[in-house]
Amino acid sequence: MAASARNSTVAGGKSAAECSGQELGIERVLDAPRQLVWKAWTDPGQLMRRRGPKGFTSPACTIDLRPGGKYLNCMRSPDGQDGWSTGRYLEVAAPKRLVYTDSFADAEGNVVPASHCGIPSEWPMELQVTVTFEEHEGRTRLTLRHAGFPAGEGADQAGVGWNEAPDKLAESLR
């Protein structure tokens, strides 16, 4: 059942959708039914197997998949550095649409500024991710929008990982 919550806020009290920052958009058609792609995106065990860019792993992930529910995820770089992210689900419309916030976090799930992770301080405390899952000729069209990046290289840097993540997802669905 679809449900939604009010817009979340980012630095300066604006919602991610209202930020003057950049938006990253990615679209892929995956050779798997929509329900299977949805589960791979929302099941903690499956998410841990395919999260992040190539060479990265996800040793920890919790998901409370409901409007207002939270997630906490750890992404480990090839050199062993852990980066945590957290957020809350604003809209869960299985298996069609998912909207959630995205923030840097510590291992306990507390939101921390990007500077905690060595990223410039102009990065907002919270961004917003919208993922749609559309049936497309027996396959699934996955569209991702990650909004609220600061002007500059923010979206470009995130785009590297997000562009590799659907490839890992496609491999995990085989």
Positive/negative CA dihedral, 115, 76, 151, 41: negative
Question: Which domains does the chain show, CATH number per domain?
Answer: 21-172 (3.30.530.20)
Residue tagged 């992404």 (tokens): 75
Q: What is the enclosing helix (H) or strand (E) of 50?
A: helix 44-50
Classified as helix, coil or strand, 12 is helix
Q: What is the pLDDT of residue 118?
A: 81
How confident is the model over 149-169, as pLDDT tens digits?
887 665 556 666 677 777 888
User: Cβ distance 4 to 67 under 8 Å?
Assistant: yes
User: What confidence category does residue 108 fall into, taking pLDDT thresholds of 50, 70 and 90?
Assistant: very high
3-class SS of residue 82: strand
pLDDT tens-digit profile of 38-87?
Answer: 999 999 999 898 888 888 899 999 999 999 999 999 999 999 999 999 99
